[in-house]
Amino acid sequence: MRATYMYGAGDVRVIDVPDPAVQHPTDALVRVVRSCVCGSDLHPYHNMPASERGESMGHEFVGIVEDVGSEVRTIGKGDFVIAPFAWSDGTCDFCREGLQTSCRHGGFWNAGDVRGGQAEAVRVPLADGTLVPVPVEENSPLVPSLLTLSDVYGTGYHAAVKARVTADTTVTVIGDGAVGLMGVLSAQQLGAPRIILMGRHKERTDLGREFGATEVVAERGTEGIAAVRELTRGDGTHVVIEAVGHMPAYEQALGVVRPGGVISRVGLPQYDDAPVGWDLFGPNITLTGGPAPARAYIETLLPAVLDGTVDPGRVFDTELPLDDAPAAYRAMDDRLSLKVLLRA
């Protein structure tokens, strides 16, 4: 089969690899219908050391079940399924608490002998706890929106939930990528009356306005902080969703959060050290966030996707065949595309 591998910074290839197969009684084999490139995939695209064997890529996919192990009970051949970006058993204490990213027996795609989703097929461990069957056909127009539930929609929602967004909280979202836009949508769904989106790309911020942003601030750094402070009478907002992961975004979050507020980080941090002393302690700021347990939110978010109330799939502005994955990475890295959908 064909699969996407990265061999170093900027070096993405689609190659022939052995077909996956059920190996354990709890496995499922999924034929990938759609996958995509994530903003977090661009981090290794920028800095991965050269590798002769390469690394498989992709952690967001939906597809059709083609085979199941003898102990799989909740899904069957022919089911259309959503695969969250972490696989989990669904039964351990962390899974029962809604933290599948810390599952005692789970893991993440592209680790160990579990390959990635930017491919024609994937072996899914712990299929009963991981996969979510959905009653749609593989050619349904809902497929792009269903794909967002594997990561970016759940991640944006996680950011808003961890920040305790309500009808009484104002929100700043830093970052106009797919996760930031999903943070806007999620904050709007949770009732936030005011959502300030910090982003510089008009096509993206226009979509953010449609998702619920009430204002847009294009400036960055100290100018961006000053602009948000001016909009909020000097106070800042109760919640800041940081959806970028770089130090300037974290510093910006510190600059626009209101005393007593919450910074919710869901951008994959590209730094090890950050101010957490008096900058947080003095004004009683809460720092939260982390890898979203997307599996925990799918049942909550799915009904509105199925009935068309929300259309998170609009974050996909480019669609390419799997063999064009290298071009997909370039398009996202060059900011020519917001998020690229891949047809397997």
pLDDT of 235: 97
> What's the pLDDT band for 66 if we cut at 50, 70, 90?
very high
Whether 271 contacts 246, CB under 8 Å: yes
d(CA 247, CA 269): 8
Contact 150, 294 (CB under 8 A): yes
Q: Could you tell me which residues come within 8 angstroms of residue 223 by beta carbon, excluding any fewer than 6 positions away?
A: none
What average pLDDT score do residues 284-308 get?
Answer: 97
State pLDDT tens for residues 5-22: 999 999 999 999 999 999
CA distance 299 to 304: 10
Angle at 10 between CA 41 and CA 208, to 5 degrees: 40
pLDDT band at 152 (very low <50, low <70, confident <90, very high): very high
* Per-residue model confidence as pLDDT tens digits over 117-138: 999 999 999 999 999 999 999 9
Q: Which two tokens mark 322?
A: 């799997």
Share of the chain above pLDDT 70, in %: 100
Residues 238-244 have a mean pLDDT of 97
Give the pLDDT score at 103: 98
Cα(197)–Cα(38) distance, integer angstroms: 20
Distances (CA, A) of 264 to 11, 23, 254, 276, 293: 32, 39, 11, 14, 14
Mean pLDDT of 2-7: 98
Instruction: Tell how strand 318-321 and strand 340-343 pair up.
Output: parallel
Taking only the tens place, the pLDDT of each residue in 83-126 is: 999 999 999 999 999 999 999 999 999 999 999 999 999 999 99
Confidence of residue 194 (pLDDT cuts 50, 70, 90): very high
Residue 158, pLDDT score = 98
Q: Would the pTM of this model clear 0.85, i.e. be above it?
A: yes
The closest alpha carbon to 289, from 220, 221, 243, 228, belongs to 243
Q: What's the confidence (pLDDT) of residue 36?
A: 98
R_g (Cα) of the chain, nearest Å: 20
Q: Burial of 137 by CB count in 10 Å (0-12 exposed, 13-18 middle, 19+ buried)?
A: exposed
Q: Please, are residues 181 and 211 in contact by the beta-carbon 8 Å criterion?
A: yes
Q: Is the pLDDT of residue 344 over 90?
A: no
How far is residue 333's CA from residue 182's CA, in Å, rounded to a whole number? 19
